[in-house]
Amino acid sequence: MRHINLLHTALFLALSSACMAQTKFKPEDTEFYEPKPRVVMNNAQVPNDAIVLFDGKNLDKWESKNNPSQAVPWTIKDAVLTVKPSTGDIQTKDKFEDFQLHIEWKSPETIKGEGQGRGNSGIFLQGMYEVQVLDNDDNPTYVNGQAGSIYKQRPPLVEVRSDKDKWHRYDIIYKAPRFNIDGMLISKATVTILHNGVLVQNNTQIEGTTEYIGLPKLQAHGPGPIVLQDHGDLVHFRNIWIRPL
Ligand code: MG
């Protein structure tokens, strides 16, 4: 990536000096051919350069967060992954920095509880920053805790309701925070989220960890896993893939 930036910088400087000299441009002066973007196919709704984290068959890419050596206790039935309450969160074995993540989720069939106690789960980016999953249908709660929020920080731009089949889709584009070699913050994490194709977070800055109580915490860290939350509700997941960026 760095050499691309250098190339663009060199091009910009060349053009700037050309401007100052009032050079007359030809079209090809501002066209370049290298490096070429990679070719990616998306014929089966999963880009062919994506890492498939869950395709309905197994949880080989996942581990229990509390007991990584144990098999993941959540259940798979009819190609759908379901939280097994009180067994704890699960996380990817791989760790990630910047990425594009696709994940689909559905609230429990049996409606029970209210507010944060109804259909609650979550997707923790780098294991620290929660994108909320919640049954929002006629279920008032604090807006920075509803589905599509960055938990306790930013509500979604709009409330997206589920389709006929009740499945929701999140497409999450995440840029990790940057720290210098001394652990000082250079830039905070940012996230863009499409919920069922509708923009709900637009390059939102993440202030730090998404705490239930208290203010966000921000400490230097490296790559982290995708974590799915066990909040005690039978939330379903399917079709999870990620493209490191
Ligand atoms: Mg949650």
Does residue 131 lie in a domain region? yes
Does residue 64 lie in a domain region? yes
The domain in which residue 141 lies consists of 49-244
Amino acid making up residue 231 = H
Ligand 1 centroid to Cα of residue 71, in Å, is 23
Does residue 142 lie in a domain region? yes
Ligand 1 centroid to Cα of residue 171, in Å, is 17
Average pLDDT over all residues of the chain: 92
Does residue 98 lie in a domain region? yes
**Total number of domains in the chain:** 1
Does residue 7 lie in a domain region? no
Q: What is the pLDDT of residues 59-69, one digit of tens each?
A: 999 999 999 98
pLDDT above 60 for 13? no
Does residue 17 lie in a domain region? no
Ligand 1 centroid to Cα of residue 139, in Å, is 14
Does residue 39 lie in a domain region? no
Ligand 1 centroid to Cα of residue 212, in Å, is 10
State which residues have CB under 5 angstroms from ligand 1, the bound ion: 120, 122, 229
CATH of the domain at 123: 2.60.120.560
Helix (H) or strand (E) segment spanning residue 17: helix 2-20
Compute the Cα dihedral for 236, 128, 211, 130 and give only its sign.
negative
Ligand 1 centroid to Cα of residue 132, in Å, is 5
Q: What is the pLDDT of residues 84-93, one digit of tens each?
A: 999 999 999 9
Does residue 221 lie in a domain region? yes
Q: Is 144 exposed, middle or buried (0-12, 13-18, 19+ CB in 10 A)?
A: middle
Query: What is the pLDDT at residue 1?
Result: 47
Whole-model pTM: value is 0.90
Ligand 1 centroid to Cα of residue 105, in Å, is 13
Q: Which residues contact 92 (CB under 8 A, 6 or more apart)?
A: 53, 61, 62, 63, 225, 226, 227
